[in-house]
Amino acid sequence: MNRTVFILNGPNLNMLGRREPHIYGRTSLAEIQDRCEATASQLDLQCEFRQTNHEGVMVDWIQEAFEQGAALIINPAGFSFHSIPVLDALKLIEAPLIELHLSNIHGRDELHRHSIMSGVVNAVICGLGADGYPLALQAIATLLHATDSSQ
């Protein structure tokens, strides 16, 4: 079983720590990446951590994860609420797939409340800020272990 996990981050997440810290916290994406790489190493996972502001790039990366048979954690950010191309690409993923949000999208305004991605993922983690990322990696490791055990 492939032990690679793609952690893909959508638009404006490169501005974490500076953009609306009252919603998204003060932790930068670079700090989150460092935590993810450390957690992945502890879990014997390979981590591909990426961020893009461009929908087509996100689709390409999801397809790359699919081609590699990699697990995927995605924080689709603004793509969550309208991007059919990202949604359709996620439908390709056969390995464990987790949607992640820093904020509790269910408690936000109507525009930011309903992710169209949630119906195609194994699980959704939201509202835990930067702490959601290492928890998502732990969940991916558990899902991969369950998949390994069933084969």
133 is catalytic: no
Q: Which CATH superfamily is domain 4-150 in?
A: Dehydroquinase, class II (3.40.50.9100)
Tell me the per-residue pLDDT of 102-123, one tens digit each, with 9 for 90 and over: 988 888 777 777 899 999 999 9
**Domain regions of the chain by residue span:** 4-150
CA 36/CA 58 separation, integer angstroms: 19
54 is an active site residue? no
Give the 3-state secondary structure of residue 129. Answer: helix
Among residues 82, 101, 106, 112, the one annotated as catalytic is 101
Whether this model's pTM surpasses 0.75: yes
Please, which residues have CB within 8 angstroms of residue 95's CB and are 6 or more apart in sequence? 2, 65, 69, 70, 71, 72, 144, 147
Assign 20 a pLDDT band (cuts: 50, 70, 90): confident
Q: E-strand spans in the chain? A: 4-9, 46-51, 71-75, 97-101, 123-126
Segment 79-88, tens digit of pLDDT: 999 999 999 9
- Give the strand order in the sheet containing 46-51: 46-51, 4-9, 71-75, 97-101, 123-126
* Residue pLDDT, tens place only, 133-143: 999 999 999 99
Q: What is the mean pLDDT of the chain?
A: 93
What percent of the chain is modeled with pLDDT above 90? 81
Using alpha carbons only, what angle is made at residue 16 by residues 98 and 74, rounded to the nearest 5 degrees?
A: 15
Annotated binding site for substrate: which residue ranges? Answer: 75, 88, 102-103
Residue ranges at the known binding site: 75, 88, 102-103
